[in-house]
């Protein structure tokens, strides 16, 4: 069973949101209890705390928090203690200066309009406070200024109120003189209307990032930019928002007499929070430095004097040449792991991303990267540039400029670092390429670029209901729009409607006059369409909630034209005054991309796609227009494959077979002449030809049906019976009709394949699960059948139990009836219920018709048969929360096998489980098992059970280690295993481990993460980036598109896609099947199917069977509460 809160398809952002909400609510309760900000509304307080570091910092007295002139990075909420604001003296004595104000608990203080602090702050009494990110606080203040003003302490205002301060020399006190005017800061801005400019300046400062990792700081000189950690071992740590000046950068590179600060792990930035702007910025700077150094050392000839537009530019490189260089570099490092080369457009996108982030620049400052002989230069500043220049000229030069100072990143061109850098950049390139294309005028977009835009539009939620042709039309007219500042008004209520918007990144507030904000729209939502459709004024005002929000925009004239064209290209077939089939005329204009429309040819770029229809009419349309065009040397027609993959949703197999039988038998007699003198010879020939065509089409359809579904087809008893029935008809017709030999041969081929499959399927029952343990006799990679069995222990409330053997197809009522005689209930005639009790105390009552119960329950669950009154009294037993060190024979798998061996065996085992799972199980699971009586999802259940098992295993194994060193070692080994699984294309294991390590019990262990070497931290960050949920998990989709089968995909994401498609689109419109929805479902099933392969290659078998048993059955704790208790034993609560 899935982890609580994980409904078979949840993902990291759901867990992150839930965890963050709990932390914020607990913090709010603490503040209210202490009487802090009791009058502030819960909604606003929640917003403020949500963008804070959440974990309060406790600082001893006499510690300086910040000094006058330091860059502003945070607002502060003082929970307890006292903080003194003062103006420092010119002699730089720490505790001298002019007192301004003492702040007590409950104070919410900071700077609003300044980029640097107007005064200094130090702890007067031991203080506990929360830091709130400055840019986020300004967003809240911009919306709630009138309400918040009464609760704020603005430091600039305090300084202004005190008046002017007379400067003093060293050793002197300070005097206060009301008549002298001493400016507090040169950049003071008093007008509140200029806050957007202030915000932009703050963002510019934040974007001027500098890589601080591996640097050594002069603690005495730069102490204002460090924070004090809490606890017994207080130490100075670098402020993550601090950006040293160029002079400070120079000092950092040259000074030798300073202490190395301890590397920090920010507990607020837990591993669920994948979007970390500063971290991302540092990563791209590291990537840029690595690429620049690689080019300087290995291909310095690319950078030389070039002539462009009759001017000579020094040390520049041509766009086409660096595209060639990066393409070769990327293929050499990543081709072995992705098994797919990168096309030129992808490389251009990677350079475009570097251009957007000022790593490179065009010599004339153009914003689009062009793959031609146009000069570009590196704009990133390399602190070790002199060293690398010497290394270029002197190949024996190995000494660093200062032996005591480590370079910002490894100066050697480490293969692993280069792989990670290129992989990360390759995941960002397509997005930059997408933005670049959208900024081009429509007429300048090439067919390849239009196809790329179309492929991106397929993943937008707002466009999911639109037809294929409309999406292709949108690709040529859609534009990109970006706004830098929160609060920007896109349009106001009453304005004329000019555009339709889709949110690509960020969010917006929807407000109506007199009602205020009525809704908030997020990434993937659209707005503004109603005013265009009705040609009416805007019904609401739209304002940006976030900085740097990005939109896709369709202008009114394009929108209306596409709507008109869509209606003109729609063909409706009627019978008896009702629509029975709705087709859309499709013009294929994007080059030779005809894969979605096999009937179209380069000479005839037009065909029809099915939008909706009655099931039997869609089948008739397939038989009449698709079957004759099938060519087994070409990809299968998309509509035909979609119909076969999804027919169980809207067209029961029995009805499908009946229609095929009728079609096969049509025109089975020859009409006589009216005059009774026999048959017309011409009519005879025409009728015979039509009969043969009909029979051939049905048999060909059965063969394609068989090829697409494979095992699923032969597991369907109705389909099997139908094959036998049609075979009898073909044998009979072959005796009476000429020209049937081709049909007969095809039917024999179908029979041979059926007999081959049935030999495999007609086997003895196999033991699948033995009391919750995966059996060595399980049939995977063959599918588990309804006849396969599970041993299951079932309990009663009277501490009695019985172990039974039951096949998968047995219902809950069947299990109860089998157990009743053996458990000897006193009230044997009273209704009984089968109940699962999980280790965390949750209970699941099964319906009497539910089947495959043993494969559905979670690992440490128990099954009970009870009366209705006893259900609420069921609680977990002690052995359901056992700890592995309580098991005398337990030995960790890490003490038995190397990480590479564990990863290999995980991949082999998971590939077997994946191969055993068929596509229809995904449909049954998402649409509801009750809608498919008698059909189970046992193979999918076991696969998802295994996914959750790996998550809990990674958490359990780390928490049960008794010493810190061992925990760090196990964490490193899990990251190693995840990396091996990534190389093996086992994405199920990769993301199960990643989500396990990102769970609250592990992510909160800050000491553990601080002890993790930087190499492993980088690897883990790469895994996190693949799980980034933005743009509908775009990073993952790009990554998997570069892999070649066999692949074990991230199945929970496929289930999520199916769920959103099913719940967001109607199955029927006006009595017709919505085939656009079926096409979307089929796309998910096709991707699942295409990941499969018969073998992963040779994987060495483990010699000792018991070790393989440990690989298939990890001992885990699956009670989140118990895991949190173990986590708190390692590190106490932070709040």
Is residue 588 over pLDDT 70? no
Token representation of residue 347 = 């490389």
405-409, 629-633, 808-812, 881-885 — most confident range = 808-812
Which segment of 52-61, 292-301, 314-323 scores lowest on mean pLDDT? 52-61
Q: How far is CA 741 from the centre of its chain?
A: 53
Cβ neighbors of 609 (< 8 A, separation 6 or more) are: 467, 468, 469, 583, 584, 586, 597, 639
Q: b/e string for 103-116 if b means 16 or more Cβ within 10 A?
A: bebbbbbbbbbbbb
Query: Nearest Cα to 994, choosing from 963, 1039, 964?
Result: 1039
- The mean pLDDT of 876-880, rounded to a whole number, is 88
CB 229 within 8 A of CB 185: no
Token representation of residue 774 = 């995966």
CB 1097 within 8 A of CB 975: no
The verdict on domain 767-881 having CATH code 3.10.20.90 is yes
In what helix (H) or strand (E) does residue 542 lie, and over which residues does it extend?
A: strand 541-544
Neighbouring CB atoms inside 10 A of 30's CB total 13
CB 482 within 8 A of CB 544: no
Cβ neighbors of 1088 (< 8 A, separation 6 or more) are: 919, 922, 1049, 1051, 1054
Query: Nearest Cα to 226, choosing from 260, 269, 277?
Result: 260
Measured CA to CA, the distance from residue 225 to residue 208 in angstroms comes to 16
- The mean pLDDT of 28-52, rounded to a whole number, is 76
Domain boundaries 893-1046+1092-1125, CATH class: mainly alpha
CB 555 within 8 A of CB 479: yes
CB 383 within 8 A of CB 249: yes
Is residue 376 over pLDDT 90? yes
CB 992 within 8 A of CB 3: no
Tens digit of each residue's pLDDT (9 = 90 or more) over 100-158: 899 988 889 999 878 788 899 998 888 888 888 887 888 888 777 777 888 889 998 88
Structure confidence at residue 1124 (pLDDT) = 93
SS3 919: helix
Quote the crossing angle between the two packed helices 987-997 and 899-916, to the nearest 10°: 120
Query: Nearest Cα to 174, choosing from 122, 100, 224?
Result: 100
Return the CATH number of 280-386+413-432, one of 1.10.10.10, 3.40.640.10, 3.30.450.20, 3.40.50.1700.
Answer: 1.10.10.10
Quote the crossing angle between the two packed helices 42-50 and 134-148, to the nearest 10°: 160
Query: Nearest Cα to 253, choosing from 87, 86, 387, 108?
Result: 387
What is the band of 618 on the pLDDT scale with cuts at 50, 70, 90? very high
Structure confidence at residue 769 (pLDDT) = 94
What is the band of 88 on the pLDDT scale with cuts at 50, 70, 90? confident
Structure confidence at residue 887 (pLDDT) = 58
Long-range CB contact pairs, 582-588, < 8 A, 24+: 582/610, 582/611, 582/612, 582/613, 582/1072, 583/608, 583/609, 583/610, 583/611, 584/467, 584/468, 584/469, 584/608, 584/609, 584/610, 584/611, 585/469, 586/468, 586/469, 586/472, 587/469
DSSP string, 958-994: HHT-SSHHHHHHHHHHHHHHHHHHHHTTBHHHHHHHH
Q: b/e string for 993-1016 if b means 16 or more Cβ within 10 A?
A: bbbbbbbbbbbbbbebbbbbeeeb
Query: Nearest Cα to 920, choosing from 751, 685, 714, 698?
Result: 714
Q: 356 φ, ψ to 5°?
A: -65, -25
DSSP state of 1048: B
- For 617, 659, 955, the CA distances from 663, given in Å and listed in that order, are 12, 6, 58
Cβ neighbors of 695 (< 8 A, separation 6 or more) are: 664, 730, 733, 740, 743
Tens digit of each residue's pLDDT (9 = 90 or more) over 339-352: 556 789 999 999 99
CB 569 within 8 A of CB 597: no
Token representation of residue 999 = 């769970």
Is residue 525 over pLDDT 50? yes
Which segment of 385-394, 660-669, 1081-1090 scores lowest on mean pLDDT? 385-394
CB 241 within 8 A of CB 76: no
Measured CA to CA, the distance from residue 110 to residue 132 in angstroms comes to 10
CATH topology match: 280-386+413-432 vs 570-590+606-668+685-754: no
What is the band of 41 on the pLDDT scale with cuts at 50, 70, 90? confident
Structure confidence at residue 340 (pLDDT) = 57
CB 168 within 8 A of CB 174: yes
Q: Where are the domains of the chain?
A: 17-163, 280-386+413-432, 440-566, 570-590+606-668+685-754, 767-881, 893-1046+1092-1125
Measured CA to CA, the distance from residue 274 to residue 847 in angstroms comes to 40
Q: b/e string for 512-524 if b means 16 or more Cβ within 10 A?
A: eeeeeeeeebebb
User: How many H-runs (helices) and E-runs (strands) does the chain carry?
Assistant: 38, 35
SS3 446: coil
Task: Identify the burial level of 814 via C-beta atoms within 10 angstroms of its C-beta, where 0-12 means exposed, 13-18 middle and 19 or more buried.
Answer: middle
Q: How far is CA 125 from the centre of its chain?
A: 45
DSSP state of 260: P
- The mean pLDDT of 170-191, rounded to a whole number, is 32
Q: Please give the angle made by the CA atoms of 1063, 1068 and 1069, to the nearest 5 degrees.
A: 115
- The mean pLDDT of 251-255, rounded to a whole number, is 37
- The mean pLDDT of 270-290, rounded to a whole number, is 60
Neighbouring CB atoms inside 10 A of 303's CB total 19
**Residue length of the chain:** 1135
Is residue 67 over pLDDT 60? yes
Place of tokens 């009058």: 39
Query: Nearest Cα to 295, choosing from 378, 400, 416?
Result: 378
- The mean pLDDT of 917-926, rounded to a whole number, is 94
- The mean pLDDT of 558-564, rounded to a whole number, is 90
Structure confidence at residue 238 (pLDDT) = 32
Cβ neighbors of 539 (< 8 A, separation 6 or more) are: 493, 512, 530, 531
Structure confidence at residue 896 (pLDDT) = 86
CB 916 within 8 A of CB 782: yes
Place of tokens 């020209």: 739
- The mean pLDDT of 819-846, rounded to a whole number, is 87
In what helix (H) or strand (E) does residue 621 lie, and over which residues does it extend?
A: helix 615-625
High-pLDDT (> 70) share of the chain, % = 77
DSSP string, 1019-1038: HHHHHHHHT--HHHHHHHHH
Token representation of residue 208 = 């001027």
CATH topology of domain 570-590+606-668+685-754: Son of sevenless (SoS) protein; Chain S, domain 1 (1.20.870)
Q: Please give the angle made by the CA atoms of 976, 981 and 982, to the nearest 5 degrees.
A: 95
Neighbouring CB atoms inside 10 A of 242's CB total 18
Neighbouring CB atoms inside 10 A of 1020's CB total 23
- For 76, 131, 142, 510, the CA distances from 48, given in Å and listed in that order, are 11, 10, 13, 21
What is the band of 461 on the pLDDT scale with cuts at 50, 70, 90? confident
Domain boundaries 17-163, CATH class: mainly beta
Q: Please tell me the pTM assigned to this model.
A: 0.70
Which segment of 205-219, 297-311, 615-629, 919-933 scores lowest on mean pLDDT? 205-219
Structure confidence at residue 685 (pLDDT) = 57
Domain boundaries 440-566, CATH class: mainly beta
Is residue 475 over pLDDT 90? yes
Measured CA to CA, the distance from residue 996 to residue 949 in angstroms comes to 10
């Amino acid at each position: 069973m899935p982890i609580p809160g994980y409904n078979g398809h949840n993902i990291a952002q759901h867990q992150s949101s839930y965890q963050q909400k709990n932390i914020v609510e607990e913090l709010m309760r603490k503040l209210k209890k202490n009487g802090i900000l009791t009058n502030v509304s819960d909604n606003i307080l929640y917003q403020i705390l949500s963008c804070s570091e959440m974990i309060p910092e406790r600082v001893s007295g006499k510690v300086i928090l910040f000094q006058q002139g330091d860059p502003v990075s945070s607002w502060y909420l003082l929970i307890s203690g006292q903080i003194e604001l003062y103006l420092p003296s010119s002699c730089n004595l720490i505790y001298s200066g002019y007192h301004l104000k003492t702040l007590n608990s409950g104070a919410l203080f900071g700077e609003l309009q300044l980029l640097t602090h107007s005064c200094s702050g130090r702890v007067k009494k031991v203080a506990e406070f929360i830091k709130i990110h400055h840019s986020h606080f300004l967003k809240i203040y911009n919306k709630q200024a009138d309400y918040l003003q009464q609760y704020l302490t603005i430091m600039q205002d305090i300084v202004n109120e005190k008046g002017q301060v007379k400067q003093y020399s060293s050793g002197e006190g300070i005097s206060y003189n009301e008549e002298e005017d001493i400016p507090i800061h040169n950049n003071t801005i008093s007008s509140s209307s200029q806050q957007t400019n202030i915000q932009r300046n703050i963002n510019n400062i934040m974007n001027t990032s500098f890589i601080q990792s591996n640097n050594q700081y002069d603690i005495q000189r730069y102490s204002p930019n460090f924070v004090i950690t809490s606890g017994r071992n207080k130490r100075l740590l670098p402020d993550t928002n601090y950006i040293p000046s160029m002079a400070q950068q120079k000092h950092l590179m040259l000074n030798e007499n300073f202490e190395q600060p301890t590397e920090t792990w920010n507990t607020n930035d837990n591993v669920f929070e994948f979007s970390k702007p500063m971290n991302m910025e540092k990563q791209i700077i590291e990537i840029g430095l690595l690429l620049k150094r690689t080019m300087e050392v290995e291909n310095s000839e690319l950078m030389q004097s070039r002539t462009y537009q009759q001017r000579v530019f020094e040390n520049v490189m041509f766009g086409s040449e660096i595209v060639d260089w990066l393409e070769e570099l990327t293929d050499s490092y990543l081709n072995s792991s992705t098994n797919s080369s990168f096309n030129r457009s992808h490389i251009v996108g990677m350079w475009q991303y570097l251009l957007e982030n000022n790593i490179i620049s065009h010599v004339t400052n153009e914003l689009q990267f062009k793959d031609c002989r146009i000069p570009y230069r590196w704009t990133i500043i390399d602190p070790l540039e002199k060293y690398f220049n010497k290394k270029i000229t002197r190949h024996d030069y190995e000494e660093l400029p200062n032996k005591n100072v480590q370079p910002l990143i490894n100066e050697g061109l480490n293969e692993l670092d280069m792989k990670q850098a290129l992989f990360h950049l390759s995941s960002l390139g397509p997005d930059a390429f997408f933005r670049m294309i959208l900024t081009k005028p429509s007429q300048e977009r090439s067919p390849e670029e239009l196809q790329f835009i179309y492929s991106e539009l397929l993943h937008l939620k707002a466009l999911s209901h639109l037809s294929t042709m409309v999406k292709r039309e949108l690709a040529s007219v859609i534009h990109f729009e970006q706004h830098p500042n929160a609060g920007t008004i896109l349009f106001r209520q009453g304005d004329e409607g000019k555009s339709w918007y889709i949110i690509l990144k960020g969010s917006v507030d929807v407000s109506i006059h007199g009602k205020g904000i009525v809704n908030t729209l997020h990434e993937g939502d659209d707005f503004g369409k109603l005013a265009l459709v009705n040609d009416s004024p805007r019904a609401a005002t739209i304002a940006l909630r976030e900085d740097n929000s990005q939109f896709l925009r369709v202008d009114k004239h394009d929108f209306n034209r596409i709507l008109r064209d869509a209606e003109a290209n729609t063909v409706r077939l009627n019978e008896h005054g009702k629509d029975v089939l709705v087709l859309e005329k499709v013009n294929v204009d994007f080059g030779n991309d005809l894969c979605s429309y096999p009937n179209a040819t380069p000479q005839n770029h037009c065909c029809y796609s099915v939008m909706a229809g009655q099931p039997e009419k869609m089948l008739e349309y397939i038989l009449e227009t698709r079957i004759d065009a099938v060519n087994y040397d070409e990809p299968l027609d998309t509509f035909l494959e979609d119909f076969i993959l999804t027919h169980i949703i809207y067209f029961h197999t029995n009805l499908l077979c009946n229609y095929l039988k009728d079609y096969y038998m049509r025109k089975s007699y020859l009409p006589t002449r009216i005059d009774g003198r026999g048959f017309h010879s011409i009519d005879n020939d025409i009728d015979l030809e039509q009969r043969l065509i009909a029979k051939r089409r049905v048999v060909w359809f059965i063969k394609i049906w068989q090829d697409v579904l494979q095992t699923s087809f032969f597991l369907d008893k109705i389909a099997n019976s139908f094959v036998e029935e049609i075979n009898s008809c073909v044998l009979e017709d072959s005796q009476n009709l000429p020209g049937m030999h081709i049909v007969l041969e095809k039917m024999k081929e179908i029979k041979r394949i059926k007999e081959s499959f049935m030999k495999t399927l007609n086997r003895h029952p196999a033991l699948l699960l033995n009391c919750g343990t995966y059996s060595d006799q399980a049939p995977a990679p063959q599918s588990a059948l309804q006849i396969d069995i599970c041993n299951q222990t079932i309990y009663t409330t009277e501490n009695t139990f019985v172990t039974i053997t039951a096949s998968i197809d047995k219902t809950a009522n069947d299990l109860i009836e089998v157990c009743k005689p053996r458990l000897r209930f006193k009230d044997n005639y009273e209704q009984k219920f089968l109940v699962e009790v999980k280790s965390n105390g949750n209970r699941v009552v099964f319906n009497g018709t539910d089947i495959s119960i043993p494969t559905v329950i979670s690992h440490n669950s128990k099954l009970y048969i009870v009366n209705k009154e006893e259900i609420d009294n069921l609680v977990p037993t002690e052995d359901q929360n056992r700890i592995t060190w309580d098991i005398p024979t337990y030995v960790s798998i890490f003490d038995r096998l190397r990480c590479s061996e564990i990863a290999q065996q995980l991949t082999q085992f998971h590939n077997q489980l994946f191969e055993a799972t068929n596509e229809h199980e995904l449909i049954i699971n998402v649409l509801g098992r009750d809608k498919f009586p008698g059909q189970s999802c046992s193979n999918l259940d076991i696969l998802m059970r295994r996914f959750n098992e790996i998550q809990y295993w990674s958490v359990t194994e780390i928490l049960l280690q008794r010493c810190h060193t061992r925990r760090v070692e196990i964490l490193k080994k899990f990251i190693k295993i995840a990396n091996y699984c990534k190389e093996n294309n086992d994405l199920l294991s990769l993301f199960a481990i990643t989500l396990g390590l990102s769970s609250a019990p592990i992510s909160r262990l800050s000491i553990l993460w601080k002890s993790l070497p930087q190499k492993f931290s980088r690897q883990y960050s790469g895994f996190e980036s693949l799980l980034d949920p933005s743009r509908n998990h775009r990073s993952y989709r790009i990554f998997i598109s570069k892999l070649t089968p066999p692949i074990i995909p991230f199945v929970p994401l496929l289930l999520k896609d199916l769920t959103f498609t099913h719940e967001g689109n109607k199955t029927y419109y006006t009595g017709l099947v919505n085939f656009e929805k079926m096409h979307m479902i089929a796309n998910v099933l096709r991707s699942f199917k295409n990941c499969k392969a018969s073998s992963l290659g040779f994987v060495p078998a483990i010699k000792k069977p018991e070790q393989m048993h440990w690989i298939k059955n990890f001992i885990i704790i699956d009670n989140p509460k118990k895991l949190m208790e173990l986590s708190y034993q390692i590190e106490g609560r932070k709040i």
